[in-house]
A and B are shown apart, each in its own frame.
Chain A
């Protein structure tokens, strides 16, 4: 995957928000959810971690801060989660599902 994304590369200090046309629908605890693009009807299924992360994106939190808050919930180290979330954010950005705030 390229790291040359709109808004620059993602780092733990990046602040993200959902793309305005994207809706996140959780399907319940441990069930994951669906991302829906209203402009195209395109759908993406997502696991719990992704849904949790997306629901935390409000344009004001850094990716690293979100990793710290999620570490307890998912019982992994903050460093490990931070690395995973940066990768996830790049993937989401490449699909135009999120944008840099």
Chain B
């Protein structure tokens, strides 16, 4: 389908024989995403990324809608401020045009996502050769929008549940600071892992809930050396970053793993530098916790923060005010770490309100 002129007008099909629409319903712990596409392949690809969230039956009330349109030509860049351009975390060149009301997201000049903030819907135009760019660069932002629409917030953190109390703990740090090592250490004794990298927080009047989006663990060679109990890994091949991916089900015999389920949030742990001696788990300054989380999770583009970004900032601020937070400087004796974290959660020590 040719697409030119206004993005909205270009969504009108020009075929006299409408293509049967394929749909997929996803249920992210109460936040719905309804995907529609002309080709079943798109549906299958997204379902394969989130197999645990595929829902049967009618979509959730007020689900976020994603329409995928295969195009021969992408909509032209809009008359909106260019607020960001560069490589995303997958190494794909992207650019974002954005106003307070609208976002126009271009990935590799092969895919365009158009979203009116607050509309509860997004439209994606994708060229025939844009499948990889779509899957690596567009799906996660769409899921984030669906969560946001459902009152939930993605957070770059590991999320575990203390088995004795059923309460959740978040382990927060930028990539490369030891989230996976810490999460696996805790999950080896007394905790169950939902995710080592992609958490979701759900603010409720009665308290904050947290859950994790499952994904394969990215285990670094150094982590395997530190945690000798891991033993031989299923795929003994390290990539160029010294990492290998391990599906959760393949390591569930060595660590506690649990499916995603929103649980009351009992503690936030910010990873600091390693301690040369024993572990140091100390109360954290709430403003500093907010600064760390916002720096890693709230986008500030060249044109400033959008209302959506400010909403995220304020939500994280409220979460930190309502939750005990700690800074962890892990020492050498990792086996003693789960007990220390359990005691801190039990005491509600630190800066608990």
Contacts and interface: CB of A to CB of B under 8 A. Distances in A.
B304 A40 contact: yes
B304 A27 contact: no
B285 interface: yes
A81 B351 CA distance: 28
Nearest to A29: B353
B149 to A, nearest CB: 23
Contact of B304 (A39, A43, A45): A39
Given A25-B290, A32-B287, A46-B287, A41 B353 contact: no
A36 B351 CA distance: 22
A27 B300 contact: no
Q: How big is chain A's contact interface, by range?
A: 10 to 19
Contact of B300 (A33, A40, A46): A40
Nearest to A27: B286
B287 A27 contact: yes
Q: DSSP class of A's interface residues: helix, strand, loop or mixed?
A: loop
A38 B310 contact: yes
A43 B290 CA distance: 10
Contact of B286 (A32, A39, A41, A42): A32
Interface in B308-322: 309-310, 313-314, 317, 320-321
Nearest to B290: A34
Contacts of B194: none
Interface residues of B, number: 23
Interface in A22-61: 23, 25, 27-28, 31-34, 36, 38-43, 45-46
Contacts of B294: 34, 36, 41, 43
B304 A21 contact: yes
B295 interface: yes
Nearest to B292: A43
A70 B93 CA distance: 52
13 contacts: A23-B310, A25-B290, A28-B286, A31-B285, A34-B317, A36-B313, A38-B304, A38-B310, A43-B290, A43-B291, A43-B294, A43-B295, A45-B291
Given A27-B317, A34-B287, A36-B305, 5 more contacts: A27-B286, A33-B287, A45-B285, A45-B288, A46-B287
Nearest 3 interchain pairs by C-beta = A41-B300, A27-B286, A45-B287
